[in-house]
Structure 1
Amino acid sequence: MNGIAGSRRKTAVRIMAALVLPALLLLGAGREVSAAGGLQMSTGYPGMVVTAGDELSFALDFTNTTGAGMAVSLETVSLPEGWEGYFTGNGSEVSQVYVKNGENEGTAAYSLSIPEEAAGGDYEVVLRAYTGGEASDTLTLNLKVTEEELGGSSFQSEYPEQEGSAGANFSFDTTLVNNSASEQNYSFSSNAPSGWNVTFTPSGESSPVNSITLEPRKSQTITVGVTPAADAQAGAYTISCAAVSAGENLKTELTATITGQYALDVTTPSGRLSTEAYANKQKEVALKIVNNGNTDLTNVTLSSSAPDGWTVSFSQPTIDVIEAGASVEVTAYMTPGEDSLSGDYVVSIKASNSDTSDNAEFRISVKTETIWGVVGVLLIVCVFAGIGWVFHKYGRR
């Protein structure tokens, strides 16, 4: 009997062990999971290729499997020398974040600044999230800084050549690029011809400026306004513009081409277009031929249209050149016809070349001289002489 009872007891112990041990193992396993923390911190792109001077932001996601929400502290475990990093939430720097039970996406972010002088290579940034209990996790950001070879700074225009008529204003869109590793303050200048005006206006601004500050590896559109002098002649004008900082001297060349404007004016030195003349007698009339355009005029020919029987000639029938804005004086010799009666006549004078022309109409008042006029004068002289003789002879009686 005793042997049978002992055997039963052993069997019961074995059964209980078979039932309890798995439960204990399961309970122990559950405790191990909880002890592992129940908190995970992650980001979508923990490995990135970057360049010196970059400003980065990593969105942080949290998974809480502890069964309850909790306040989680955040810290930077390691950061390369000279780098700057901090946690942000809702636009402000934070040191803690509340993580609800379950998955929490984009609850916080990590802002990272890579210095301009950072050498190329592989770097690690280690972050840690933890609670007062056993829940904690770390996140390693693997960053590869490429040795980007920066191009030189520049000041250029996509369309540096423009054309316009006299009196037109020119507007050039240029791009100023600061490819240096530091902030630059650029001062603007130009070598425009005398009487010209050049302005520099940043895009988005309404008023010109003399200088502008540009951050590293940034660019700015600058509108260069060019106003030619009022008397600028036709031709191509090259204007060198400069943006000068403490460490750089950037230049760009702009070309403003003023097209030819041709204009002639036929007049007299006094501006009067009328005179008197006598039939069959030559009359000299001073003419003034003015070039009112912005380019020289060559081979200017003078011609006339006069009444029948009249002759008109010029001291200089062809003028080789009249410079822009200048004038030349020429004498016109007008001789009314022998049979011209007293009265007003019109003589048209024209100046022209292959580019332009002008004409002016002169009113000529013709006076006639007859023998009776001479006889009348002689009779008057004789009458006065006779009266004088009479008074001389009989005046004493």
Structure 2
Amino acid sequence: MSVDSVNLERPFLGIHPFVVLLFLVFCLASPIASAQESTKAPSFSARLINMEAPVNETFRYQATLKNGSSASRYTLDAKAPKGWRVKFKVSGKQVTSLQMDPEKSENISIEVHPAYGAKPDQYDIPVYAVGEDSLSLNLEAVVEGSFALELTTPSGRLSGEVTEGKSKQVNLQVKNTGSLALEEISLSSRTPPKWEATFSPSTIERLAPGKSTDVVATITIPDKTLPGDYVTKFTAKASETSSDASYRMTVTTSLLSGWVGMLVILMAIGLVYLLIRKFGRR
């Protein structure tokens, strides 16, 4: 091998690794720089954007607002259907705007209250965070219907009379006033002390929307109950909703008890009269 050929190859061998190193550094630096730039981009996102619930419940979304590279004040707003209400909460407190430092994130709870009587359907609810950057998030609320229950009597009257020591049957009516079926509706009561109440039936397995079922409540009043007005509270309860009805019961004494009371009074008067005659002569 000649001296010239060796000298020509050495410079090439010395430069080649350096060029390769520069190339690798450039390739690695470009993704890092791109990643750093992307972290500075603002965003408004939510883990769940579509929820389903009855019309009488609140839709709750958890969103995250991420600021860009400079400090900014964001105003929170929403474009909801007529009659709907939207609230923004941060750390449990209701807010309408946020002051955010550069490259900071904030968790926002978004509460959506449907309008009363909203029909089952899917509703789009765009929410906005407007600051130096204008960000938007499109939420979806699917209204399934409503659970509602009413407990009353067929006539609407919630009062009656009963004699102490007797039983009284009260006709009740359980109505499904919602748009969804109710299942396993149980009946219960809160009565005055020592009173008893039973139901027939005690449980309604299923009640379709707009339908009603008659229930007979039997109340037993103990002996020697003082005359007066007493209130019994009836409750019809399903897993989704419940309804109460307060029934006022007027307790009267029995005819026999009245005659016995009058006899006792007459005997007392007669005894006083005899005592006066006997000791009044002395």
For the superposition of Structure 1 and Structure 2, which TM-score range results when normalised by the shorter chain? 0.3 to 0.5
TM-score normalised per structure 1: 0.37
Select the structure that is richer in helix: 2
Larger Rg: 1
